[in-house]
Structure 1
Amino acid sequence: MQNSDQPTTNKNYTGLVVTLTIVINAIIVAIFVTPKLDTFSHLDLTVLPMMNAIFNSFTFIFLLSALYFVKKRNFTVHRNFIFAAFTTTTLFLITYVFYHLNAPSTSYGGEGPLKYFYYFILITHIVLSVPTVLIALWTTVFGLTNQREKHKKIARWTMPIWLYVSLTGVLVYILISPYY
C-alpha cells in the first residue's frame, strides 16, 4: 500500500521549478532595464494595466475558491481553481510584460498619506511577488505528485502570500490608474 506522502512519480522537478522561477523573475527585471520597444507606439496600451488588474482579481477569486474547496475536502475542485489561478496569473504575466516592454513607466502623482500607503502596497507587492513564483510552483508540484504533507506545509505559506500579491496588484492599479 502506498504511503500518502509518497510521490506518484519519481521525476525530479527541481530543475524545471528553479528554471521557471529564474526565467520569469529575470524577464520582469529585464523589462525595466531595457529600452522600450517602438513597435506598438501607435497603439493606446493603457487598457493593458486594467486587464492586469482584472486578471489579478480573477486570480484572487480563484485562490479564495480553491481555499474554500480544500477546506471542504473537495480536492478535485480545489485543483481546478488552482489551475484557473495559474491561468489568469499567466495571462497577467503576458500582458504585464507586453505593456512594460512598450510603454513608459507611470509615476504615482498623489500626495499625503495616500502616497505612503501606495508605496507600502507597491513595495510589499513587488518583494512578495518574487518568491511567490517559486513557492507556488513547488506547492503545485507537491500537490500533483501526491506529496500531501509537503504540499500542506508549503501551501500554508503560499496561499496567503499569493492572495496578498494578487490583491495588492489590484490595489496598485486602482491607486495609480488616474495617472496613466
Structure 2
Amino acid sequence: MNDHSVKERNFTPIIVLLTIVINALVAFLYFMPKYDTLSDVDLTILPFLNAVFNSFTFVFLVAALVSIKQKNIKLHKRFILAAFTTTALFLVSYVTYHGMAESTAFGGEGIIRYVYYFILLTHIVLSAAIVPLALVTVARGFNMKVEKHRKIARWTMPIWLYVSLTGVLVYIMIAPYY
C-alpha cells in the first residue's frame, strides 16, 4: 500500500440513518406540542445563534471552495469539517428552540411576504435534501473516490451554500417578530 491509498469504508448505513433521523426529527418538531416547563426562559437567543452558526457554515464553505480551487486538499478538508461542526451546532440549537418554543409568524405584508415565504420554502426543501447530499459527498471524499466526490460536490456545494445563506436571511427577515 502506498501513502495515498485509503481503506474504503461503507458509510451508507450511517448516511441513511442520519438522513432519516435528522429529517424525521425536524419534521416531528413541527407537530410536537411545546413544553411549558421553561416558559420563563427567553429562548429568542437560539434563533440568533442559528443565524450565527449558518453564517460560519457559509464562510467555511466558501473557504473550502477557495482552498480546493487552489488544490489545497488538506485545508479544504479542514474547512469542510468546520462547516459540518457549525452545521451540527446549528442542528442542536434548532432542535432545542423548536422543541420548546412556538413557531413565530412572519408579520410582513405585500411583496416582502411572498419573498420571505419563497426563501423559507426553498430553504426548508433544500435543507432536507442537503443532509444526504453532504454526507455522501464527504464519505466519497474520505474514501478518496475523487471523481465521484467531484461529481456530487458540484451539486452539494451550491445547495449547501444556499441553505446556509437563506438560513441567515430567514432569521433577518423574521427577527423583528420574535
The normalised TM-score by structure 1 is 0.95
> By how many angstroms is 1:38 displaced?
2.0
How many angstroms apart in 2 are the aligned matches of 1:85 and 1:12? 22
Instruction: Find the partner of 2:107 among 97, 106, 109.
Output: 109
Map residues 116-131 of structure 1 onto 2, 5 A cutoff: 116-131=114-129
Matched-pair contact (CA < 8 Å) for 2:9–2:143: no
How many angstroms apart in 2 are the aligned matches of 1:21 and 1:148? 23
Per-residue deviation, residues 89-133 of structure 1 (Å, max 9, x unmatched):
000000000000101100000001111100000000001111100
Structure 2 partner of 1:72: 70
How many angstroms apart in 1 are the aligned matches of 2:33 and 2:108? 27
Structure 1 range deviating more: 7-16 or 164-173: 7-16
Instruction: Find the partner of 2:83 among 79, 82, 85.
Output: 85
Structure 2 unaligned spans of 5+: none
How many angstroms apart in 2 are the aligned matches of 1:141 and 1:127? 22
3-state secondary structure, aligned to 1:42: coil
Structure 1 partner of 2:157: 159
4+ aligned runs moved over 3 Å, structure 1? none
Map residues 47-66 of structure 1 onto 2, 5 A cutoff: 47-66=45-64
> By how many angstroms is 1:69 displaced?
0.1
Per-residue deviation, residues 32-83 of structure 1 (Å, max 9, x unmatched):
1111112321100011100000000000000000000000000000000000
Percentage identity across paired residues of the two chains:
59
3-state secondary structure, aligned to 1:35: coil
3-state secondary structure, aligned to 2:136: helix
How many angstroms apart in 1 are the aligned matches of 2:51 and 2:141? 28
Map residues 125-144 of structure 1 onto 2, 5 A cutoff: 125-144=123-142
> By how many angstroms is 1:88 displaced?
0.4
Structure 1 partner of 2:174: 176
3-state secondary structure, aligned to 2:84: helix
Structure 1 partner of 2:148: 150
What is the aligned length? 177
